């Protein structure tokens, strides 16, 4: 369960609530951890026995201004060290804002940055998972499709750079099932959620409440031998309306049905 | 001189007549006609008004919206689209904008196979009228409008179809940061039938939420330069829609957009 799903809850409330539901693993949120206190938070995580599948997030490089990179790389280095300390399986990476650069100009600069970042990941033994974003989230990064991100990962060809599959943004990508079948080894995290019909923003819904063929996509990942986690990451106005408990309840019910453990949907 | 038109979607809540009179008073010489407005006003009256105003029509918007998941709906939807090809011809539109339609839970490839079948049928009618069709890829959030979400993928389909009557619409707010943009503009401009101009502000998280050119973060000038260098021959259609337009008001939105055009032309 991704802590973003219960966006306004504090770190300790997330852990206590998720644990009470028997959730075995979480994606830990940096903002929440820092607000709670890093040392206390790390101890709480250790005591909970929960696996940290991902630490969110680092990067956000000002691609248009290399003068800022040294400081941004220092921040990333500290975040990577923290991810290693909590034994996170991965650390989420956002490329950052290209401003008015073209895709290719932004990618060239981001590749330079990756050249400095990846040795840090290797040293800490925590791989990055890079998340492509909808064009509207251009301040977060220049890459918008799974395909383009996988091309970058192929080119970089490092075990320390994987791609994050974010369902609401990628479910209708061209070549989706072919990419899953052929390049699942490059995918380090699958964030699952659903999208209600006629959604025109980045609003997500509980699994099964929308139009995304989640089952089909997960089956494709399973068939491709994907070995990572399926991280439930649901955020947006519908989650706030429904409430965190109900959003999580519905999503876990979907998971139970997927595993054949729950009642048939009525 | 930039060959531009003003899209009636920019003044979404005005009537057909209000649009044409206001646009004409500003010296705008071409318009993209919204079929909804035209039909509400009356097709014959609308045609006459356009003729009297001396306005060229860069495009008629929009046909298609096929239910790709349900073939039983296609005959009626094809009939509607064919009628629109006729309307576009009657009013003298340069092209008819096309939306593929919702793909349900199908994959991209499944949706495309079905759309190609529909396109084949439509192109026969387009050929009969010599009316070019122009397909608009949409933001990935707008799966209710279509399954194609990038210029590149739209152009690949156009290459495959390889018909002079089938081109792609470049919609700036959706395509400005995509991979291979400038390469595609340079290499495949002839496949692009309409360029919709607009801008978006930083921190825009839903669609459509556009602003006048120059008010946002998109390098619109650089993109237009690329089209000019590639000898793009079509219209630059100013299509600005969203809450910021409603807040600013249609007159002010248009004023700013036309100001951008003037600045670009050095006037």
Residue A202's pLDDT is what? 72
Mean pLDDT confidence for A161-176: 96
Q: Which H/E stretch holds residue A136?
A: none
Long-range contacts of A39-45 (CB under 8 A, 24+ apart): A41/A11, A41/A12, A42/A85, A42/A86, A44/A11, A44/A12, A44/A15, A45/A15, A45/A86
> How many inter-chain contacts (A to B, CB under 8 Å) are there?
95
Q: Given pLDDT bands bounded at 50, 70 and 90, which one contains residue A261?
A: low
Whether A200 has a pLDDT exceeding 90, the answer reads no
* Closest alpha carbon within chain B to A211: B105
Pair B214, B256: CB distance under 8 Å: yes
To the nearest whole Å, the CA of A142 is away from the closest chain B CA by: 7
Q: Given pLDDT bands bounded at 50, 70 and 90, which one contains residue A264?
A: very low
Q: Given pLDDT bands bounded at 50, 70 and 90, which one contains residue A123?
A: very high
Whether B51 has a pLDDT exceeding 90, the answer reads yes
Residue A266's pLDDT is what? 32
| Assigned token pair, A79 | 């975040």
| Assigned token pair, A261 | 């453990």
Domain residue ranges of chain B, discontinuous segments joined by +: 4-264
To the nearest whole Å, the CA of B157 is away from the closest chain A CA by: 12
Do the chains contact at B179 and A104, CB–CB below 8 Å? yes
Q: Tell me, letter by letter, the H, E, C secondary structure of chain B.
A: CCCEEEEHHHHCCCCHHHHHHHHHHCCCCEEEEEHHHHHHHCHHHHHHHHHHHCCEEEEEEEEECCCCCCHHHHHHHHHHHHHHHHHHHHHCECCEEEECCCCCCCCHHHHHHHHHHHHHHHHHHHHHHCCCEEECCCCCCCCCCCCCCCHHHHHHHHHHHCCCCEEEEEEHHHHCCCCCHHHHHHHHHHHEEEEEECECCCCCCECCCCECCCCCCCCHHHHHHHHHHCCCCCEEEECCCCHHHHHHCHHHHHHHHHHHHHHHCCC
Q: For residue range B224-264, what is the model confidence (pLDDT) as tens digits?
A: 999 999 999 999 999 999 999 999 999 999 999 999 999 99
Which CATH number is B4-264 given?
3.20.20.150
Residue A59's pLDDT is what? 97
Return the bridge partners of B237, or none.
B5, B196
Do the chains contact at B177 and A98, CB–CB below 8 Å? yes
Residue A265's pLDDT is what? 41
Mean pLDDT confidence for A100-112: 97
Pair A170, A193: CB distance under 8 Å: no
- Which tops the pLDDT comparison, B206 or A211? A211
Average pLDDT in chain B: 96
Pair B148, B106: CB distance under 8 Å: no
Do the chains contact at A100 and B207, CB–CB below 8 Å? no
Contacts of A151 (CB under 8 A, 6+ apart): none
Whether B43 has a pLDDT exceeding 50, the answer reads yes
Residue A222's pLDDT is what? 96
Whether B62 has a pLDDT exceeding 60, the answer reads yes
Q: For residue range B190-222, what is the model confidence (pLDDT) as tens digits?
A: 999 999 999 999 877 777 889 999 999 999 999
Interface pTM (ipTM) of the complex?
0.92
Which CATH number is A3-258 given?
3.20.20.150
Cβ-based contacts of A201 with chain B (< 8 Å): 141, 205-207
Lowest mean pLDDT among A194-203, A207-216, B42-51: A194-203
Residue A199's pLDDT is what? 77
Whether A175 has a pLDDT exceeding 50, the answer reads yes
Q: Given pLDDT bands bounded at 50, 70 and 90, which one contains residue A262?
A: low
Pair A116, A73: CB distance under 8 Å: yes
Do the chains contact at A102 and B182, CB–CB below 8 Å? yes
Residue B267's pLDDT is what? 67
Using a pLDDT cut of 90, give the percent of chain A over it: 90
Residue B208's pLDDT is what? 80
| Assigned token pair, A266 | 């009525």
Q: For residue range A65-85, what is the model confidence (pLDDT) as tens digits?
A: 999 999 999 999 999 999 999
Q: Given pLDDT bands bounded at 50, 70 and 90, which one contains residue B125?
A: very high
Residues of A with CB under 8 A from a CB of B: 98-100, 102-104, 107, 134-139, 142-145, 148, 169-170, 172-177, 197-202, 211-213, 216
Cβ-based contacts of B176 with chain A (< 8 Å): 135
Whether B114 has a pLDDT exceeding 60, the answer reads yes
Mean pLDDT confidence for A137-149: 94
Mean pLDDT confidence for A171-199: 95
| Assigned token pair, A234 | 């649901």
């Amino acid at each position: 369960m991704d802590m973003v799903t219960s966006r306004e809850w504090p770190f300790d409330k997330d852990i206590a609530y998720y644990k009470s539901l028997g959730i075995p693993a979480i994606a830990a949120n940096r903002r929440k951890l820092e607000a709670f206190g890093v040392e206390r938070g790390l101890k709480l995580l250790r005591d909970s026995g929960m696996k940290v599948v991902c630490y969110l997030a680092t990067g956000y490089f000002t691609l248009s201004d290399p003068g800022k990179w040294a400081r941004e790389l220092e921040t990333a280095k500290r975040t990577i060290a923290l991810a290693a300390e909590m034994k996170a399986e991965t650390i989420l990476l956002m490329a950052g804002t290209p401003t008015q650069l073209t895709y290719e100009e932004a990618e060239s600069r981001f590749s330079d940055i990756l050249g400095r970042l990846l040795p840090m990941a290797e040293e800490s033994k925590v791989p990055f998972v890079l998340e492509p974003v909808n064009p509207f989230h251009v301040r977060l990064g220049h890459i918008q499709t799974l395909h383009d991100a996988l091309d970058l990962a192929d080119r970089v060809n490092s075990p320390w750079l994987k791609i994050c599959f974010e369902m609401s943004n990628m479910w209708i990508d061209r070549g989706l099932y072919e990419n899953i079948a052929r390049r699942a080894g490059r995918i380090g995290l699958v964030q699952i959620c659903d999208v209600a019909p006629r959604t025109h923003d980045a609003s997500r819904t509980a699994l099964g409440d929308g139009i995304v063929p989640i089952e089909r996509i997960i089956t494709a990942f399973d068939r491709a031998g994907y070995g990572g986690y399926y991280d439930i990451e649901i955020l947006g106005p519908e989650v706030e309306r429904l409430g965190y408990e109900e959003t999580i309840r519905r999503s876990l019910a979907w998971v139970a049905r997927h595993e054949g453990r729950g009642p048939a949907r009525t | 001189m930039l060959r531009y038109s003003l899209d009636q979607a920019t003044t979404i809540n005005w009537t057909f007549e209000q649009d044409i009179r206001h646009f004409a008073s500003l010296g705008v010489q071409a318009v993209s006609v919204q079929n909804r407005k035209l039909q509400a006003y009356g097709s014959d009256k609308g045609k006459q008004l356009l003729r009297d105003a001396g306005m060229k029509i860069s495009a008629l918007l929009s046909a298609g919206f096929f239910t790709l998941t349900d073939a039983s709906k296609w005959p009626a939807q094809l009939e509607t689209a064919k009628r629109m090809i006729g309307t576009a011809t009657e009013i003298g539109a340069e092209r008819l904008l096309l939306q593929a339609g919702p793909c349900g839970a199908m994959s991209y490839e499944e949706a495309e196979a079905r759309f190609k079948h529909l396109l084949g049928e439509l192109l026969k009618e387009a050929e009969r009228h010599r009316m070019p069709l122009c397909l608009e890829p949409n933001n990935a959030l707008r799966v209710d409008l279509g399954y194609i979400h990038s210029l590149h993928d739209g152009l690949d389909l156009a290459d495959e179809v390889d018909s002079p009557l089938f081109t792609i619409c470049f919609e700036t707010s959706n395509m400005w940061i995509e991979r291979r943009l400038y390469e595609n503009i340079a290499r495949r401009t002839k496949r692009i039938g309409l360029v919709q101009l607009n801008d978006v502000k930083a921190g825009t998280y839903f669609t459509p939420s556009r602003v006048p050119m120059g008010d946002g973060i998109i390098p619109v000038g650089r993109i237009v330069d690329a089209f000019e260098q590639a000898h793009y021959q079509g219209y630059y259609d100013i299509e600005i829609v969203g809450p910021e337009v409603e807040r600013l008001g249609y007159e002010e939105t248009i004023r700013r957009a036309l100001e951008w055009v003037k600045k670009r032309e050095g006037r």
